[in-house]
Amino acid sequence: VEYDGTDFCGFQFQPQARTVAGELERVLARIFGREIKVTAAGRTDAGVHAAGQVVSFDAGGNVPLEKLPIALNASLPPDLTVREAASAGETFSARFDALERYYVYAVLNRRTPSAVLRRFVHHEYRALDDGRMRAAARELCGKHDFSSFCGVPPENGTMVRTLREVEIERRGELVLFRFAGESFLHRMVRISVGTLLEIGSGRRSATIGETLAARDRRAAGLTAPPAGLYLAGVRYADFCSLPPDWWKMADN
Amino acid sequence: VEYDGTDFCGFQFQPQARTVAGELERVLARIFGREIKVTAAGRTDAGVHAAGQVVSFDAGGNVPLEKLPIALNASLPPDLTVREAASAGETFSARFDALERYYVYAVLNRRTPSAVLRRFVHHEYRALDDGRMRAAARELCGKHDFSSFCGVPPENGTMVRTLREVEIERRGELVLFRFAGESFLHRMVRISVGTLLEIGSGRRSATIGETLAARDRRAAGLTAPPAGLYLAGVRYADFCSLPPDWWKMADN
């Protein structure tokens, strides 16, 4: 599933708000003639986009898989589109069976904001030192207690996560931060980017090691705005929703 | 000047419509305290975007050039931004002194539409043969009477134009058509792309040579929708508004 998150109050269903789950469930109910609940690989916040979100639901019985994306897209709003449908085992959960999640955070690094990209990048007018940000990103990778980089802690469970990779790619005025990891804490990517931007613009003296060690949200940087963030894709045992040319593009 | 053309009725001023010129002139009048008329390198149609539009106006007297983009952006709507301001000779016209204009037309070539890119690409779900489109694009290049590729003919003057280059670059699902030429007829880029798409999807038998020879708008293909089109930049004797990495990106 792909969406422009600008005009959604996030993925998770809320009775009085426009949400991705709410729109999907409304259209699925119409197609299948009964109530359907969806589960997402990543419960994105308000304003966050997705290129390769994966959603599972119990359709109960035979489904014309080939026609499902076209039927859904005909009824969904234009800022929410379904790219593909596939059948999975009865116990499959888009959330709990995900092996790795891929996020991209896009920063436009120039003096003036961009009219064309305004919904899809965070504008940082300060000069950024890519080398310093890359060194800090390397420190962030690995298995750590990410309490300092967590918005709302999970209800029960550990704050330890393994961040497999943070790649920083510059394409002229655009800086792309690519994150790969099995799972992420609430706002972990946006707080990480906010902290890396403070390091890159020379506004921060604490190292990533010190920030991690503090285990306190107040030790890290500001949460970067949602517009720059994309859930790029999700990997499962036998399927990956990441666009096929995603890593290749990163190599350019 | 950069803009997201989706919610503009084109560049040219219209008394009752939201236009790029209208918004610029409104804000310039407020800053300079008098009526100001702007001239653009490319008078883009409704829905067409610009990354490197160039606009000239007579500011009369001393202008704080450094502060002008920031002052303008503070008052302009978010879908219209000024990137840079520079002084030019008294006789300078953004329109008549342009030596070359660069347009990009973006096509998303996959089965389903894209929620994220919906304002900025034309969705073509049919498979496209890049080789056939490139061969046709080569035929289109050069000095020709482009009557078949013109929407509204110029009031007086020739239909002969020199199309210096048409480059077709594929990046996965995205196909970028890049046009370079001194000047273009009304809708020339969109009619050209519409015709190339018909050739690429096997829906058209007439060659570009035959279509040019007809000198009749009805001989060419449908006008491709405005959302895919960008005025990428304009070259002058001593200045080019094209992003510096534009050609480099094309080489990837």
Q: How far apart, in whole angstroms, are the C-alpha atoms of residue A155 and residue B248?
A: 48
Structure tokens at A208: 């990533």
Residues of chain B with Cβ-Cβ distance to A112 below 8 Å are 69-70, 73, 81-84
pLDDT band at residue B252 using 50, 70 and 90 as cut-offs:
very low
Name the closest residue on chain B to residue A71, using Cα atoms.
Answer: B112
pLDDT for the residue B246: 54
HEC string of B3-71 equals: ECHHHCCCCCCCCCCCCHHHHHHHHHHHHHCCCCCCEECCCCCCCCEECCCCEECCCCCCCCCCCHHHH
pTM for the whole structure: 0.90
Q: Average model confidence (pLDDT) for chain B?
A: 93
For residues B37 and B44, is the Cβ–Cβ distance under 8 A? no
10-residue stretch averages of pLDDT, chain A, 252 residues long: 96 96 97 94 96 93 87 96 93 96 96 92 97 98 98 91 96 93 96 98 97 98 97 94 60 38
pLDDT in tens, A216-249: 999 999 999 999 999 999 999 999 998 765 544 4
B172–A245: do the CB atoms touch at under 8 Å?
Answer: yes
B25-31 long-range contacts, Cβ below 8 Å, gap at least 24? B27/B72, B27/B75, B27/B76, B28/B57, B28/B72, B30/B75, B31/B68, B31/B71, B31/B72, B31/B75
Mutate to test the interface with A, among B67, B70, B81 (most CBs of A within 10 A): B81
Residues of chain B with Cβ-Cβ distance to A120 below 8 Å are 116
For residues B192 and B122, is the Cβ–Cβ distance under 8 A? no
Segment B200-228 mean pLDDT: 97
Burial class (CB in 10 A: 0-12, 13-18, 19+), B242: middle
Segment B32-60 mean pLDDT: 95
pLDDT for the residue A114: 93
pLDDT for the residue A213: 98
Is residue B237 pLDDT above 80, yes or no?
A: yes
Question: Which pairing describes strands A142-145 and A122-123: parallel, antiparallel, or unpaired?
Answer: unpaired
**DSSP classification of residue B219:** G
Catalytic residues of A: 45
pLDDT for the residue A244: 60
Name the closest residue on chain A to residue B120, using Cα atoms.
Answer: A116
B4–A118: do the CB atoms touch at under 8 Å?
Answer: yes
Of the partner residues A69, A70, A112, the one whose CB lies closest to the CB of residue B81: A112
> HSE (CB half, 13 Å, CA atoms) of A34?
5
Of the partner residues B51, B112, B114, the one whose CB lies closest to the CB of residue A116: B51
pLDDT in tens, B113-155: 999 999 999 999 999 999 999 999 999 999 999 999 999 999 8
What residues contact residue B130 under an 8 Å CB cut-off, 6+ apart?
A: B168, B170, B175, B200
Structure tokens at B190: 């969109």
A115–B4: do the CB atoms touch at under 8 Å?
Answer: yes
User: ipTM, 2 decimals?
Assistant: 0.85
Least-confidence region, from A128-137, B85-94, B238-247: B238-247
| Residue ranges of chain B whose CB lies within 8 Å of a chain A CB | 2-4, 49, 51, 69-70, 73, 78-84, 111-116, 118, 120, 171-173, 230, 243-245, 249, 252
